[in-house]
Amino acid sequence: MKKNIAIIMGGYSNEYKISLKSGNVVYDTLDNEKYNIYRVHVFKDKWVYVDEAEKEYSVDKNDFSITLNSNKITFDCVFNAIHGSPGEDGFMQAYFKLLNIKQTSCNMYQAALTFNKRDLLATLKPFGIKTAESYYLNIGDAINEDAIVAKVGLPCFVKANKAGSSFGISKVYKKEDIKAAIDSSFMEDNEIIIEQFLDGVEVSVGVISYKGKTTVLPITEIVSENDFFDYQAKYEGKSQEITPARISDDYKQKTETLAKKIYDTLGLTGFSRSEFIFKNDEPHLLEVNTVPGLTRESILPQQAAEAGISLQDLFGNAIEEALKGF
């Protein structure tokens, strides 16, 4: 009997457009001979099932069901394609856990932890994971530019603590520009992290649960045409994403080992994509994404293709792993 699969997409953040693209790729790719597939848009003002004719039907949030032609439809599994809140920060994971519905991303705690850059880096530090020097600010805190420069140097990155797709990120070269960058980041989040600039090779590596095993995908080298890997570089073609990365065997082994260690240490399941920059021949962690982009141009699908895993296999495997209890 075919399983009912809901693909959730959209979300409450500025990443909703990217999420809709990812979700629609999943919808177009999943095997409809194996699954009954439903697109569900999750926005602050509405949760709706969207049919082929783009007609919307309300989702009953009490049990995450829909009613079509007087028939109530419930779901065996949810494919999570929401980037940002509430799909990547633990809220949807907790909701589905309470309803006892399987879903394809990691669990609630791991989602909340990885979405919070400051908490993630602090958690991993005792495990020997190297990171850039950083300085934290919450909205309302006094801003001491001299203290910031003394801690992280110049240039530096000012980042919203809980945001994705490079929203709320600025690269700052001069002390007098720090305040404006901080104000910009506070428009995305009430917490920010200011990080030392690491000048080295940047790589991205996917780690997934594949056929019951933690699998490290081929590494991608990021070469941005812009000043850093910003929104334009990620989504508007202003970067080269080279898979497999043009790195030494030593760099490759270090990256693969570290990415798998992070995945296992945090107890992740489903998809993950970790970003590193090499400094003094050692990979330094930037962040971990647990609902990475899933369009055909996105990094994780590129890596899967290099590993010989088709999109249909990649997405179908995520559902099968979730149904098994991952």
228 and 118 within one domain? yes
pLDDT in tens, 163-172: 755 567 899 9
Cα separation, 290 vs 164, in Å, equals: 11
Percentages helix, strand, coil for the chain (3-state, rounded to 5) are 35, 30, 35
User: Can you tell me the mean pLDDT for 43-65?
Assistant: 98
Confidence of residue 230 (pLDDT cuts 50, 70, 90): very low
pLDDT in tens, 255-314: 999 999 999 999 999 999 999 999 999 999 999 999 999 998 899 999 999 999 999 999
Residues 6+ apart with CB under 8 A from 201: 221, 245, 247, 251, 277, 278
308 and 186 together in one domain: no
Q: Are residues 167 and 291 in the same domain?
A: no
Confidence (pLDDT) at 311: 97
318 and 251 within one domain: yes
Q: Judge if 290 and 180 occupy the same domain.
A: no
Contact in structure between 193 and 159 (CB atoms under 8 Å): yes
pLDDT (tens digit, 9 = 90+) per residue, 176-211? 999 999 999 999 899 999 999 999 999 999 999 999
User: Of all residues in the chain, what percent carry a pLDDT higher than 90?
Assistant: 89
Are 37 and 318 within 8 A, CB to CB? no
φ and ψ at 245, to 5 degrees?
-65, 145
- Give the chain's mean pLDDT: 94
Q: What is the pLDDT of residues 84-138, one digit of tens each?
A: 999 999 999 999 999 999 999 999 999 999 999 999 999 999 999 999 999 999 9
Q: What pLDDT, on a 0 to 100 scale, did the predictor assign at position 227?
A: 64
Of 220, 234, 175, 223, whose CA–CA distance to 200 is shortest? Answer: 223
For residues 34-47, average pLDDT: 98
Asked if residue 244 has a cis previous peptide bond (ω within 30° of 0), the answer is yes
Q: What's the predicted TM-score (pTM) here?
A: 0.92
Q: How far apart are CA 200 and CA 30, in angstroms?
A: 38
The 3-state secondary structure of 178-204 reads: HHHHHHHHHCCCCEEEEEECCCCCEEE
Pick the last residue of a domain from 146, 163, 196: 196
CATH of the domain at 40: 3.40.50.20
